[in-house]
Amino acid sequence: MGRVRDENKFSHIGIRHRAGAHRAKTVYPLLTTWPHPWASGEDSPREQVHVERLDHLGVLASVIKDLGFMDMINARLGPDPPEERTPGEAVAGMIRNGLGCAHRPLSLTPQFFASQPLDLLFHDGMRAEWFHRFTLGRTLDEAYAYGGDLFFHELALCVCAREGIDLRFNHLDTTSFSLSGAYIPESDEQAMTITHGYSRDHRPDLKQAVVELMVSQDGGIPLVSQSWDGHTSDIEIFQARAHAWVAALPKTPSPRDLIADSKLYHEDNATHLRPLGFITRIPNTSGPVSAAMTQALALACWHRLDDHTRDQRLALCHSGMAQRWLVVSSQAAYERAAATLNHARPREDEAIHQQLFHLQAQRFATPEAAPETLTALAKGWTYHQRDSYHLRDHKRDARQGRPTPSMPVKAIGWHIQAHVRPHEAAIGHQKQRHACFVIGTHIGASELGDTEVIAAYQRQSRVEGGGRFLKDPLLFVSSLFVKKPCRIQGLLMVMTLALLVYSVAQRRLRQPLAHRHETVPNHINHPTTSPTLRWVFQLLEGIHRVRVTVQGQVYALIEGLNDLPINVLRLFGEEVCCLYHIPPG
C-alpha cells in the first residue's frame, strides 16, 4: 500500500500538489472526467486513493530496460526455479536501491520498493517482499560463482556496443573501501582477502578491499571492475592490467590506449608498456624528470595551449623505449604551488629562528668557524637566505678574579648573530617548478598530437569521479555490511553496474543538449549544457503516481510535474515520456 492523501487534496479534474509546496505542479490525468463516488454514499477517498513514489526511478527503469540488462543477466546466471523473481530482476532491484537516494541498505530493499509503482518499474505482479536479503544474497553468490569481474566486463562490452561508445582512450585507477566487523574466511582461493592496507579513506585502523576501475573517456562508462586484496598496491594492479592489455591487443580491431597516473610508469612494468599505447604522468622521483623540468624552465620555449596552459616537448629514450615527454605548466597548478609555499614558508621561518637561537649561544675557537657553520645551516634552507651576521669576541682570562689591564688572556671565543631574509628568486623558481608536471607517451606524434595527449590525460578525472561515485554515502549506504568476502565481491560488481547505468543515463541526457545547443539550469540557476544526473535526480523529486479506484475501476495519473522536469524528461526519449504520461517534445 502506498501513502494515503486526504480528500481535500482532490478536485473534480485532478489532484493538486500538497499545500505549501515550493513550486507549482501540473497533473496529467489518464481520464477526461473524474466521478465523485463519495457523493453517492460510497467509501471515502482515504480508502480508495494510493500514492506511489516515482521521482527519477522511471528514468532508471527505462535505461535498464532499454539496455537489456535483465535479459543479459538471466542468460548468464539463469533463473532459479524456487525464486519468484529472476536474477536479472534482483540485480536491477539492487541497482535501483543504490541509485534511489533513499539511504537504505540492501537489507531494507523490500521497504524501499513498498511505496513504488512496481508494475511500471518492473512488470505486473512484481511484489516488494520478493527482494528480501536472502534472495539478494543468493544472487550475489551466483554472480561470484560465474566470475564477478568477467560478468561485469561482458555486460559492459554489450552496453558499449549498443550505445556506440568510443573505446580509443581508457582511464585506469583504483580505490579502496574501508570495512568494519568480522568476516567469515573463504575457502575459495579466488576470493579476495579483506585485510589492512594503504587506506585512501585515512582509516588505517580498518580493514579494506581494493577495487580496480577502468572507464572510457567517452561518457565515463566503466569497462573493467576487479576486486583485489586489501593490501594490494597500485603498482601491482597496474602491472597485472598492462599484462592483460598486451594479451588482448591482437583481438582489438582498433587502437586502444591506456591512461593512468604515475603508478603505471614503473621499471618493473616497462616490459608490458613497450607494445602498448599509453599516456601517463612520469613520477617526479625519476631523475630525468627533474632534468626535463630544469631544461624547460631554462629554455622558456613554451607552446601555449590556451590562456592558462603551456607545454614543451622533449624526445628521449627511457626505460628501453622511445618516448615523447611533455612538460606541462598551468596557471591552476601555479596557484596551488603558491598556496603550498605560503604555508611552508612560515614553518621554515620558525625552524630557522630556532637554529639561529642555538647558533648564537655557541662559542667558536676562530672567527672563521662561525660563518662556516652558518653557511652549512643555510644549505638546508629552501625559501630563505643569509642576510647579514655580526661576530662578537668573548675573552677568557688566564686567572680568576677581577680582570685587570695587565691580566693575560687564556683564550678568545667567538659568538655570531645572524639575520635572514626571504629568498625571492628561489621562491619564484620553486613556484614555477611545482607548477610543472611531465606527461609521457609511447604514441607517435603523427598519430596523436601534443595537445591531444594533454587533453586525454586531463580527462583522468573521469575515472576518479567514478571512484567518488561508488563511495558516496548517499548511494549504497551501509551496503557492504555483508559477512562473506565472496558476497562483498559480488556487491562491488553490482555497485559498478549502478555506475554503468548512471553513466549511460547521464550521457543520454547530455547528448541531446549538445546536439540542439540547449541548456538547463543548474543548482544555482545558471544555464549549463552538461548537467549531472544527480542534479536531475533532485529536479525530479516529488513526482508520484496516484491511483484512484472508482466503482471497481482503477484510474492512474502522474502528479508533481512542472515545466522544467517535463523538459528534462523529454531529453531521455519517448519511452520515458510514455512512462511519465507526458507528450514527447
Q: Are residues 441 and 498 in the same domain?
A: no
Residue 263 counted as domain residue = no
Predicted pLDDT at 505 = 95
Using alpha carbons, list the distances in angstroms from residue 82 to 85, 87, 136.
9, 12, 14
User: Do 570 and 507 fall into the same domain?
Assistant: yes
Does position 19 have pLDDT exceeding 70, yes or no?
no
Residue 129 within any structural domain of the chain: yes
In angstroms, the CA 409 to CA 267 distance is 65
Residues 564 and 436 in one domain: no
Do residues 123 and 70 both lie within one domain?
A: yes
Given a cut of 50, whether residue 29 has pLDDT beyond it is no
Task: Give CA angle at 362 (359, 365), nearest 5°.
Answer: 125
On the question of pLDDT at 565 being above 70, the answer is: yes
Select the more confidently predicted residue: 85 or 362.
Answer: 362
In sequence order, what are the beta bridge partners of 303? 311
Same domain, 384 and 320: yes
Residue 1 is predicted with a pLDDT of 39
Residue 105 sits in the same domain as residue 36:
yes
Residue 474 binned pLDDT confidence (cut-offs 50, 70, 90): low
Question: Is residue 219 in some structural domain?
Answer: no
Q: Are 564 and 520 in contact (CB under 8 A)?
A: yes
What lies within 8 Å, CB to CB, of 382 at 6+ separation is: 344, 348, 423, 426, 430
Q: Which domain holds residue 521?
A: 7-144+491-579
Query: Does residue 40 surpass a pLDDT of 60?
Result: no
Same domain, 11 and 123: yes
Q: Can you tell me whether residue 432 is helix, strand or coil?
A: helix
442 vs 402, more confident: 442
Identify the domain boundary among 449, 478, 502.
449
Q: How far is CA 543 from the centre of its chain?
A: 29
> Is 356 in the same domain as 441?
yes
pLDDT at position 34, please? 47
Give the whole-angstrom CA distance, residue 66 versus residue 332.
41
Q: What is the pLDDT of residue 413?
A: 80
Q: pLDDT grade, residue 47 (50/70/90)?
A: low
Q: Which of 449, 469, 501 represents a domain boundary (last residue)?
A: 449
Mean pLDDT within 71-81: 83
Given 391, 415, 449, which residue is the final one in a domain? Answer: 449
Given a cut of 80, whether residue 10 has pLDDT beyond it is no
pTM of the model: 0.81
One domain, residues 443 and 499:
no
- pLDDT tens for each residue of 185-239: 666 666 788 888 888 888 888 888 899 999 999 999 999 999 999 899 999 999 9
Please report the pLDDT score of residue 8 as a whole number: 39
Q: Are residues 60 and 133 in the same domain?
A: yes
Question: What is the number of structural domains in the chain?
Answer: 2
Of all residues in the chain, what percent carry a pLDDT higher than 70?
86
Say which residues have a Cβ less than 8 Å from residue 273's Cβ, sequence separation at least 6.
242, 264, 265, 319, 321, 442
Instruction: Report yes or no on 418 lying in a domain.
Output: yes
- Residue 156 in domain: no
3-class secondary structure, 123:
coil
Beta bridge partners of 227: 211
Classify residue 259: in a domain, yes or no. no
Are 504 and 434 contained in the same domain?
no
What's the pLDDT score for residue 398? 66
Question: What is the share, in percent, of the chain residues with pLDDT greater than 90?
Answer: 47
Query: Are residue 15 and residue 127 in the same domain, yes or no?
Result: yes
* pLDDT at 160 > cutoff 70: yes
Q: Is the pLDDT of residue 2 over 50?
A: no
Residue 214 forms part of a structural domain: no
